[in-house]
Structures are given as structure tokens and as C-alpha cells.
Structure 1
Amino acid sequence: MTELTDRTAGIPTGNGSRTTQSTPAPTPQAATPAAVAGAAAVDVAALGELLLGKWADTRLKSRALAGRPELYKTEGLTHTEHRKRAFGQLKILVDNGAVHRAFPKSVGGSDDHGGNVAGFQELVIADPSLQIKAGVQWGLFGSAVNHLGTAEHHKKWLPGIMSLDIPGCFAMTETGHGSDVASIATTATYDPATEEFVVHTPFRAAWKDYIGNAAADGLAAVVFAQLVTNGVNHGVHAFYMDLRDPGTKEFLPGIGGDDDGVKGGLNGIDNGRLHFTHVRIPRTNLLNRYGTVDAAGSYSSPISSPGRRFFTMLGTLVQGRVSLDGAAVTASKLALKTAIQYATERRQFNASSRTDEEVLLDYQRHQRRLFTRLATTYAASFASEQLLQKFDDVFSGRNDTDEDRQDLETLAAALKPLSTWHALDTLQECREACGGAGFLIENRFASLRADLDVYATFEGDNTVLLQLVAKRLLADYAREFRTVNFGVLARYVVGQATGVAIHRTGLRGVAQFVADSGSVQKAALAIKDEASQRALLTDRVQTMVAEVAAGLKGANKLPQQQGAALFNQHQNELIEAAHAHAELLQWEAFTDALGKVTDPGTKVVLTWLRDLFGLSLIEKNLAWYLMNGRLSMQRGRTVGEYINRLLVKIRPHALDLVDAFGFGPEHLRAEIATGAEKLRQDEAREYFRRQRASGQAPVDEKILLARTAFDKKASRS
């Protein structure tokens, strides 16, 4: 086999400035398509700029900071040592101006909400514990004061929060209630005689739990509790509370807590529990942007609806989901860069040569397991950038209507589950693809996966978030017919019925088969183009939502118990529809990004990658498309075949596609991504080459046996 070109010297150092062309490596399964694919070339620098997005400068500054050794995760530390290191690293972030971006200009910030999250997402490169601890301090604790408090609160507390003089906690989750925030049991009851709120946890399940900074570092907290005044519960509100004496670090009277101890990951964060026994705080400690209590105990709010008020308050904290979405994408990129780099150097088994072993990345199955995840990572990256821009539009005030906020919340709830699940899947697959080397902590797969495991359940459990998306899809579906007259609705129903009849009787499948005329090439062409992919992906979402809506028709008129039972019967279909919707959003984001690519070669390769993503989604759900008559058997069989053809086309450009992520050695910090494996392989190949050339190489027993058998046969004849 022809040796791969040495790419070690071409790895970018994180600035995305290199422009190269891949040197195509012949693949054993199809040399001719690979040669054709080699006609296209990727402009790595331009692609890197596209991936960096709107806040490229901020990302690069944060990435450079994340590449500094003093911010690296030190493996093997005890959880106590890791906590101390992570807290010290927060001070480095403060000293480098990495935490001020989102805060108001009035207190020294820059009101740059999108840039703040973009920079935060890159910190996962250094240490996920550092990233999440920074998120607790400034993205949750500080953000709650910023977005739920008033100018007076900002002036009083934000400077200390920004400087880390006030390390704090975001005390929302309780042992008994995680995602169901509306049902938390901690109360804050107003006492007009002293103008104080009395904060109390009435039973063990009401303790605040899994709270970052609670076990050791937190001096204060934003505590979420049911606001009760004049005998009326006005729902969940946020209160600023001092927790510990700054000098002794001991809990203040009435406050207690426990250490959550060692976790499955993120052990640089001191998660703990907090409980309150009739703790009194000033009335002015209520963060009262959306609801206030006067001295006499009268409650007022600019939002009259309790439900809308609740979701508005929680909506201001959506940046946590936006941040995790991008951080998960970054982790996926790290894993794929390492695994694909290694796969171009590691050799195993003599498949097509008697002397040289095959490069792992030339095996079709290896391409399948890595390239499909690479395609998904690109889709998730482009979707994440769209989410971040939507977030910035809302929080900057440029587009901040109720509808914009609902769209932002729904988009974040759709994308965060997919990107975090994908990161865990990608880290595991990349680990396995690198064999035993991937299991070594020095190559980071196992460590990153352990740290990112909780991303799937915090800032909103992924399954619960998808249910939120599904409810929005149902609401939008119902809204389409709220004002139409009977005639329009009747025509729509007839059209739907006709469509269902065509699909379910197989007539559409028959039509496809006739059109394909038994030709695999024609069938492949019919599913690979952009319009066909969009139609198939969109139709699946629309059909799933329509079927669930039909199944839930009239549920709101049933008694509560019966309505809940009916909803529960369709819960799985609801969540599946939301999942399909989120995948469609990613595909659309990838397609939109293609429209921004001007370099012809890059556009060709990225189109192949987009097609790989789209067809992989169709292949994953092929049973649905076949059972619902959306694809014929003939056309369905071509999906996998065309995916395999795309793998061959993408193979020569794999290194360029991961080089465009812009990571240098200081970001990867994986021994198997340094080129060391290539040196070992080259040394071994040279050793055996010289041995063969010397004539002193031992004879393989199998060859000797074959010769002996041949000689015996020759002598008998």
C-alpha cells in the first residue's frame, strides 16, 4: 500500500490560518472514486473561519487561554486537590478578563452576551471542571443577579461576583425536584413586622442538592423558593442569601449542608447540599425584576400571569443550555481530531499487501464509525452557531419579543440534548476506534467522557427538554387551524387523508419503483439531492406531529386524570417527534452554512459531508420510511450503498476536515495525536524492509508448508 503523506507538520496551531490540500491516499476498496474525490480540495483556513463563526476573535482568545498549562486538567488528583486547583484557575480567568463580557457596562462589563458564551464554550478544552465551575460562578450565580435583579442589586453584588470576592451558588435544584422547578418546596415567607423573608426547607427532600460551590467555596447563593406573602403563594422567585462567614468559612446561623463527595466526573467542582431553618434575609434581597413585595407585604409584578412570569424568569437563564450545547460540540471536535489523526497513522492487518499493514482509516467500517460522527459534528456546530446568534439577538435587545424568547427556549431545548448525547457517543466511539490506546487517560477520551456525562442531565434533563419541544410543536400545529374556516380545514383533512392512503397502501412506493426502473444509480440520485433529503426529513417530522396531535385530540376537555393518561400513552411518540425536529434543524443549519462557502473545492467536500449526515438520518430511521410508504424497497436499499460511496469520497479530505477545527497540540494533549504512532509504524516498516532486503529474514512457516506441499505435488507428477 502507498504510504500516507506525513501530515504532522501541517497541523494548525489554533488560528485556522493554514491552507492546504490533502494528499489523497489510495483506498483498498475503491481507488478510482478516491482519485476523483482528490480533484476537490479543502481550503482549511477558510473552513476554519466559517466554523469559528461570528465571535471568532473571542473564541480564539479563549482557546489560547485554554491552551495554557496552568489551566489544564491534572489527571490523578484527589477530588479535594482538584477542587483547590479549579478554584485557583477561576482567579486566572478573572486576571485575564475572561469573565466580564456578559455583565453590564455600568459595573465594568461589556454587555456582550454572545461573545461571553462563545468564549465560555472553549474552556472545555482546558478542563470541563474549570468550565462548569466558571459557569456556576458567572453563568448561573452572577447571571441570576444580573438578569433577575435590578440596578441596585447589580451595584451591590456584581463587582464582587465578577472579581471572585463573592464565590457563589445557584441553589435551584432540590433532592426531590430537579427538572420540575415549579414544584420545589423551599419557601420564602414574608414577615411585614421585620420586613424580612424567612427562608425554610420544611423536609429533607426540599434540601438544595447537587449545587456547585456549596460544599466548600460558596460564600453566597441565589436561592430559588416559593414566595409566600399575606397567605398567598406567588410561585418560584430568586433571593440573594449570604451562606458563610467570609473569615471562618463556616455556615451562618440556620444554614447547614453536606458535601456530595466524589462524582462520576467533574470532580473539580465542590457540589453539595444546602438546607435552611427559618433563615431571615432582608426584603431587598428578593431579586425583583419580575416580581416585588412592598414593606407592607403587597405583591406586584409587571407580568400578571403566574405561569408566564415563571417561564419568563427561567427563560433568562437559558444561556446555560446554549453554553452546554457549544461545549459538547467542542468536545466532539477534540475527540474526532485525535481519533482521525491516529487512524491515518495506525496500521493493522495485511488486507491488500503481503508486506504492509493497512492504515485504519482505509477500512470502510472505520470510516463509517468516524465519518458519520464527523458529519453530525459539523451539523451540530453550524446549528450551535445559529442558536448562539439567536441568544445574542434576544439578550442584546435587538430582537426581544415574547415570540423571540419562546423561539430561543425551544431551539435551545431541541439542540442541547442532541449535542450532549452526540458528544458522549462520539467520545465512546473514538475511544473504541483507538483501541487500548484510547483507554489511556493520557489520550483524554475516558476523562472527557466521564466529565461530560452529566451534561445530558443538568441545565435540563435531555428527555424533559425534548418533551418541552414537542409541546411547542403541538401548539404551533394547533395554531395553524385556530382561525381557519371549516372549508379550509375540510380540504386540509381530505388532503391529509389522501396522502395517508397513498403512503400506507404502498402506492407511493410503487411509483418510486417504476420511476427508478430497477436502476440503483437512478435510485441513489433520487435520494442524494438536497431537495429530496429536505422533503424526507421534513415529512417525517410533520407526519409524526400530526399523528400525535390526532391522538391527543380532545385531551384538554377530559378530566385531569384521563387527560394525563392519554398524554402518557403518546409520550414516547411526542419525544421521538421532537428528536426528529431537532435533527432537521441541524440538517438545515448545515445546508445554510453551505450557502456561505465560496471556495468550490471546499463546497464540494462539505456537500458530501452534509449528504452523509442527511442520509445517515434516513438510514437510521429507514424502518419508519418503509413502513409509512415514504421510500420504496428499491430506493431504501440504495441509502446504505450511497453512504458507502460518500465515505470513499470523503476519505482523502478527512484530515483537512478535522484540521479546520483549529486545535493545536496544546489543545488536544493526546499522545496518539502527536505523530508518535507514525514514527513507530515507519520504524517497524523500515526494520522489516531491511530484513527482507538482506535475505536474512526468517521464512514464514505457512510459506514453508506451501512450498513443501508444492514440491511434493511436483515430484508426484
Structure 2
Amino acid sequence: MTTTTERPTHSRPAARTPEPRVDVEALARTLLGPYAEMRRGARALAGDPRFQRIEGQPVAEHRARVLEQLRLLASEGDVLRAFPTALGGRDDHGGSISRFEELIVADPSLQIKAGVQWGLFASAILHLGTADHHERLLPDAMSVAVPGAFAMTETGHGSDVASVSTTATYDAATQEIVIHTPFRAAWKEYLGNAALHGTAAVVFAQLITPDGPGGRSVNRGVHAVYVPLRDAATGEFLPGVGGEDDGLKGGLNGIDNGRLHFDHVRVPRANLLNRYGDVAPDGTYSSPIASPGRRFFTMLGTLVQGRVSLDGAAVNVSKVALAIAVTYGNQRRQFTGASDTDEVVLMDYAEHRRRLLPLLAETYASAFAHEGLLAQFDTVFSGRDDTEGSRADLETIAAALKPKSTWLALDALQTAREACGGAGFIAENRLVGLRADLDVFVTFEGDNTVLLQLVAKRLLADYSREFKDVDAGGVARYVAGRAADAALHRTPLLRAVQTLSDGGRVRRSAGQLREADTQRALLHERVDAMVAEVAQALRPATRSTRETAAALFDVHQHELIETARAHAEVIQWEAFTAALETIEDPGTRRVMTWLRDLFGLVAIERNLAWYLINGRLSAGRARTVTSYIDRLLTRLRPHAQDLVDAFGYGPEHLRSTIATGVEAERQDEARAYYRAQRASDDAPLAEKLLGKR
């Protein structure tokens, strides 16, 4: 466990038996993963007051502070690990992301501004450019001598990057590219560094070349162009460039987000980032990728690291939120229960456990899934396994996990805020500030709903690929088999088998549910059945007009999104289950198995209607899901503090007054006061006791 200051002691209720116990230090090492040293170093930076957010700071001061912090990171923060060794980096892609995502603990604005500078602006030059760009443009982007913007999103086209309206038209007479936004909706929008600090941008635009048949120009699709924005000395926009400040936002106000527009701005042909598409001096276009669609997705795929890092950063915020809420809940007392004198610790209330502990289980599941995603990312970007298939897998997993973790962060922060009562609403306890900053995570680097739609399309593509070489009779037999399987599950037969197997005994039913194979089957079967059902529903689209196919897709869009959600839960559950095998201490493994079971069964409980309607669970076993969850919550309650302590965040990271031990001191003072009163002869009598004397 990584801390730089001594932790406060926390009151924990005694377990009925001394076992199992959580080895907090060992569990913390497991959570740090293969990049433990990278994370420890980044946490040291996040614990340094120079890099931390000042709550309530005015926007202008906050922006200036974050820019200076960015420059400090460039000189002290080892932030260039992902860049090639020849350029001053270390070719360490996974290590770079693992450090970067820890910065969110210091200030989400700093983490995102760092992501804009190095993860988007500089990385676009690296991955979409060639040797000339690396030599000419990258050094200043890496050192922050040139703060940069990543100009992709437009007012009229957010997640639909392929349809952006800004144009980059090649003029063969001058060998220049002309950048132009033809109407207001084509303005580049929500761009970090655009309002104030950026002196250049990587602009994504439709590349228009003059080399078409009959002298007609050709739209080559979206390409990236390096475009200077401002005079570095005066801060004034260069001729033809204009923009506006987005102003006060719901969060992340340390970042100078803004809009950009271009009025026939000319840049040299050499500023086209031409790794995947080039224009010769005479205007002839060439590309190593013949298919325009595949070329587009290849260019965007190089930037998947944004989604990977947001996934990890969101998980870290969930850890912070739950560490604050559980710590406070283990100290704050409210209402007398079994005792006439002692008030009850919040974490001893069943509903309080129900609110916080499933989120804790999901946070662990998300953390373990993120480590798998990070490993896949490093494998691809290091070149050890950089194939079209491996990149597609990486993009799909990132598109599945980023929505889950960013929505989790918002749920964890809001629930933690409410669980801490009025104290959670005080800015110094950070929950409301983090909630505001994390809100936009669910819609940038890909709107969550759109990303899940991409995941669902991949699941359908994999499903259809099974039949590529199967004749019509084989497909018909498969469909008939699936239909028979669905019909069988919907009859009382299998539900009756479960009921007979359980013998009416809750213990036996719960025993089935806590088996890993049972949970795996229930989670996987739901995904498989949903994919098959949607695939069959959409099959007519392959023989329909485009309009009819779009309408059919729209009818089933919600089912597609839910299928992708279910698939993401399977990824998380499998990652958690795999992680259990790495835990050597028996007590820790037992507690973590309970936590894994809680994650799996809560996912099943959320979808009990589906399991009942489709005959996967009997009514008796469905009732047992909830009762066994309640039992798990009771078992996990004595270990809640250990489980959040294992996240490894000290007071210098949480920076929340209610998580410092001050609440325990207040409660101890109050209890001592009332004990002394009760022991004295002159303590006032409670009116309700007067008639009993």
C-alpha cells in the first residue's frame, strides 16, 4: 500500500471468527498490477501539493495553474514514456497510461489537459505523421513549447467523425492545403487548449484532392493536418483563424475549452499528417490502405489510448469516492439501535451496505478488467502483436469498458455523496467537485451509448462470421436449434428441474449460485441468447433497402445496447475471476471471492426479469439471488475498510476532511461527554423516563 503519511485508525466491528482476514498490503500490490512502480511514482506526484487542485479557485487562476502544472510535468513527471526512445521517450505504452491515469487524483483538469497535450495532440503527430513530422513538430509538442489542440469534434458532428464538415482542399498551384469551415455547424467545438493556450492544432477535415477523372475533385475522407493557431508571443489568432471560449462549464474548469473556425487558412502540403494518406505535389493522392472505410478506422484506431486512459482514470475516481464514503461510514454514528445510549455506525445499517458494497465490488471488477485492457493496449502499441485483428479486439474491449467505468464513477460519486449526508456536499470533501469533473467523461472520447452500439455491432459481426462458409441448410438447422433451445428454457421443464435440484432448500439454491460455473453460465448465456435474438431480428435488413434496414436497426437499437452492456459485465466478471487465482493468502482470497460473487449476483439480480422470462432461473432460485446478496453484504461488512484501504490512497490523495479520522474523534468526544453525564448525579432526566421512576 502506497502512502506518504500515517493512516488514521478506523473502527471496525469484530468479525465472528478471526478468519478470514484481508492482507491489505498484499491486496494493494495485486491492485497495482504489473505497472506498480509506475503507479507509485505517479501517486507521489499526485500527492505533491504543487499538482493538486485548489477547491473554489477562480476559473482564470485555475487555468493558469493547470498550464504551469503541465509544464512541471514535462520537466519532472516522466510523461513521455509512450514516445520513441529516439525522440526522448521509452517506447513504454502501458507504463505511460498507468502513470497518466493516476493524475486524476491530483486534479481531473490536469489529467485531461495532459491527455490533450500528449495523448491526443502529440500522439496524433506521432501516429498519423511520418519521420519529417516527428523531427519537425514533435519536440515542441512533447515539451509543451507548443501547447496544442486536437480539433476533431464539430458542433454539428460529435461522435460521427466520418461526417465532419471542415474541409482541407489541396491547391496544386501553390502546394498548400486550404483549411475551411464552410458554416457555423462545422466549427470545431469543446477543444482543450483552444480558448487560450493553444498555439497549434491537429485539425481533422475532409481531404479534397484535384486528381479525379475529368478534372473533378475527389473527397478522400477524413485526414489530419497540423495547423498553427496563434502567435506564440502575443497570443493573438493568426490570419483566417478564429474562435471563442466555451466559458464556464459544469466541471473541468482548469481546461481552456473553446471553439475554432477557419476561413481559407493555408498551410504547407508538408503539414498533412500523411502516414495513411499522402498528396503528391501535383495533387495525386496515394494511400497504403486502399479501402476508404478501413483507412478511416485505422487512423482513428491509433487514438484508442484516450478511451483506455479514461477507463483507468474513472476506476481510480470510483476508488477515491468509495474510500471516502466507507471510511466516513465506519466512523459516523446516527440513531440508537439495540442500545439506549450508543448510536449505530452507518456501515452497520443494511441499506448503507446495500448502497456502497455492490459499487465496491464493481470497482474491483472494473480495476481488474482495466489491467487486461492495458495489457492488450501495450501488446498492440508496442508492436508485439499489432495486427488488424488485435487492433479490432482492443478497440472493442475499450469501447465496452469505458462506458461501464465512467458510468460507475458517476454512480459511485453520487452514492458516496448521499451516503455522507451534508458533509458530502461540502466542497472540501471533494465528492461534488469530482462528480462535476467526471460528468463529461461519459460523452467524450466517444459517447458511451455510441460506443456500446459499436460493441454490439462487433458481436453481431462475430456471430454472422460463424455462418460464412455454412450452407443454407446448416443455417436453418442452427436457427431451429436456437429456437428449440429458447423454447425449452421458456417451458416449465427446466425451472422444475432447478426446483427439484434445490429441494426447496434455500441453502442448496444459494450453494448453486455461489458456484463460479453457475455464475459464468448465467452471464454468458444471457449474452449469447441476446446476440442470437438480435441477429435473427436484424437478418431481414441484409435483403432490404437502406431505408428499411435503418428503420429495422432503430427498432432494435435498445436491445443492441443492452447486449453490449451484458457483454461488458462478462468481461469484468471474467477478469475478477482470473485475478482470484493470483491471490495467495487464503483469507484474502476468500473475502475477494465473496466480493466477486457479489458483483456477479448483483448483475444477475438487475436482470432477473430476463432470466425468469427466458426460463434461465426458477422463481425460487430467483428469490435466492437477493437473499444470498444480503448474506454476502453481511459477510463483507467487517472487511469493507480493508478493501478500500487496499486501493492504496493516503490522506494526501483523498484530501477529504471526513476521511482523515476527524469524524471518529468527534464521535469519541461526544460519547465520552454523554458517558460522563450519565455517570454524574446531576445529569438531566429524559422526560419519557419520568413515569418509570
Change in CA separation of 1:259 and 1:247 when aligned onto 2, cut-off 3 Å: same
Which residue does the alignment assign to 1:238?
A: 224
Contact 2:4/2:652, CA 8 A, preserved across alignment: no
Which residue does the alignment assign to 2:47?
A: 67
Which residue does the alignment assign to 1:591?
A: 577
Q: Give, in angstroms, the shift of residue 418 of structure 1.
A: 0.4
Matched, 1:49 2:42: no
Q: Return the letter of the residue paired with 2:671.
A: R
Q: Secondary structure at the match of 1:349?
A: strand
Matched, 1:643 2:629: yes
Which residue does the alignment assign to 2:184?
A: 204
Distance 1:491 1:298 in 2: 52
Q: Give, in angstroms, the shift of residue 81 of structure 1.
A: 1.2
The one of 126, 136, 152 equivalent to 2:106 is 126
The one of 80, 104, 123 equivalent to 2:84 is 104
Q: Secondary structure at the match of 1:166?
A: coil
Distance 2:275 2:99 in 1: 27
Q: Give, in angstroms, the shift of residue 692 of structure 1.
A: 1.0
Q: Secondary structure at the match of 2:336?
A: coil
TM-score, normalised by the number of residues in structure 1: 0.94
Q: Give, in angstroms, the shift of residue 698 of structure 1.
A: 1.5
Q: Secondary structure at the match of 2:225?
A: strand
Q: Secondary structure at the match of 2:539?
A: coil
Distance 1:294 1:536 in 2: 57
Distance 2:344 2:10 in 1: 19
Consecutive unaligned residues of structure 1, counting only runs of 5 or more, are 1-11, 27-33, 708-717
Contact 1:13/1:665, CA 8 A, preserved across alignment: no
Which residue does the alignment assign to 2:16?
A: 35
Consecutive unaligned residues of structure 2, counting only runs of 5 or more, are 211-216
Distance 1:247 1:39 in 2: 66
Matches within 5 A, 1:567-586: 567-586=553-572
Q: Secondary structure at the match of 2:299?
A: helix
Distance 1:295 1:409 in 2: 35
Which residue does the alignment assign to 1:714?
A: none
Matched, 1:90 2:76: no
Matched, 1:218 2:184: no
Q: Secondary structure at the match of 1:74?
A: coil
Q: Give, in angstroms, the shift of residue 556 of structure 1.
A: 2.2
Q: Secondary structure at the match of 1:258?
A: strand
Q: Give, in angstroms, the shift of residue 162 of structure 1.
A: 1.2
Contact 2:9/2:661, CA 8 A, preserved across alignment: no
Q: Secondary structure at the match of 2:137?
A: helix
Runs of 4+ in 1 over 3 A off after TM superposition: 15-18, 20-24, 485-491
Q: Give, in angstroms, the shift of residue 482 of structure 1.
A: 1.2
What percent of counterpart residues are identical? 64
Q: Name the stretch that deviates more: 644-653 or 462-471.
A: 644-653
Distance 2:670 2:299 in 1: 63
Q: Return the letter of the residue paired with 1:212.
A: G
Which residue does the alignment assign to 1:193?
A: 173
Which residue does the alignment assign to 2:214?
A: none
Matches within 5 A, 1:207-606: 207-230=187-210, 231-486=217-472, 488-606=474-592
Distance 1:660 1:394 in 2: 30
Distance 2:384 2:650 in 1: 36
Q: Give, in angstroms, the shift of residue 705 of structure 1.
A: 3.3
Q: Secondary structure at the match of 1:54?
A: helix
Which residue does the alignment assign to 1:142?
A: 122
Per-residue displacement from partner, 1:341-373 (whole Å, max 9, x unpaired)? 111111011111011011111111111111100
Which residue does the alignment assign to 2:3?
A: 14
Contact 1:140/1:320, CA 8 A, preserved across alignment: yes
Per-residue displacement from partner, 1:8-50 (whole Å, max 9, x unpaired)? xxxx5538999x9998615xxxxxxx414x4111111111111
Q: Give, in angstroms, the shift of residue 504 of structure 1.
A: 1.5
Q: Return the letter of the residue paired with 2:13.
A: A
Distance 1:507 1:280 in 2: 72
Distance 1:496 1:629 in 2: 14
Q: Name the stretch that deviates more: 516-525 or 281-290.
A: 516-525
Q: Give, in angstroms, the shift of residue 192 of structure 1.
A: 0.6
Contact 1:14/1:60, CA 8 A, preserved across alignment: no
Distance 1:308 1:15 in 2: 49
Which residue does the alignment assign to 1:25?
A: 13
TM-score, normalised by the number of residues in structure 2: 0.97
Q: Matched residue pairs, number?
A: 687
Q: Give, in angstroms, the shift of residue 486 of structure 1.
A: 5.0
Q: Return the letter of the residue paired with 2:655.
A: R
Distance 1:142 1:330 in 2: 25
Contact 2:128/2:275, CA 8 A, preserved across alignment: yes
Which residue does the alignment assign to 1:615?
A: 601
Distance 1:697 1:537 in 2: 60
Distance 2:69 2:492 in 1: 62
Q: Give, in angstroms, the shift of residue 532 of structure 1.
A: 0.3
Distance 2:29 2:647 in 1: 9
Per-residue displacement from partner, 1:167-222 (whole Å, max 9, x unpaired)? 00000000000000000000000011110011100000000011110000000000
Distance 2:472 2:69 in 1: 64
Q: Give, in angstroms, the shift of residue 498 of structure 1.
A: 2.0
Q: Return the letter of the residue paired with 1:674.
A: T
Distance 2:4 2:499 in 1: 50
Which residue does the alignment assign to 2:213?
A: none
Q: Secondary structure at the match of 2:289?
A: coil
Q: Secondary structure at the match of 1:237?
A: strand
Q: Secondary structure at the match of 1:250?
A: coil
Contact 2:5/2:651, CA 8 A, preserved across alignment: no
Q: Return the letter of the residue paired with 1:114.
A: G
Q: Give, in angstroms, the shift of residue 494 of structure 1.
A: 3.4
Contact 2:10/2:327, CA 8 A, preserved across alignment: no
Which residue does the alignment assign to 1:713?
A: none
Distance 1:21 1:500 in 2: 54
Distance 2:340 2:246 in 1: 57
Distance 2:551 2:476 in 1: 29
Distance 1:696 1:485 in 2: 93
Distance 1:119 1:293 in 2: 38
Distance 1:577 1:490 in 2: 23
Distance 2:51 2:137 in 1: 27
Change in CA separation of 1:665 and 1:331 when aligned onto 2, cut-off 3 Å: same
Q: Give, in angstroms, the shift of residue 144 of structure 1.
A: 0.3
Contact 2:154/2:187, CA 8 A, preserved across alignment: yes
Change in CA separation of 1:428 and 1:23 when aligned onto 2, cut-off 3 Å: closer
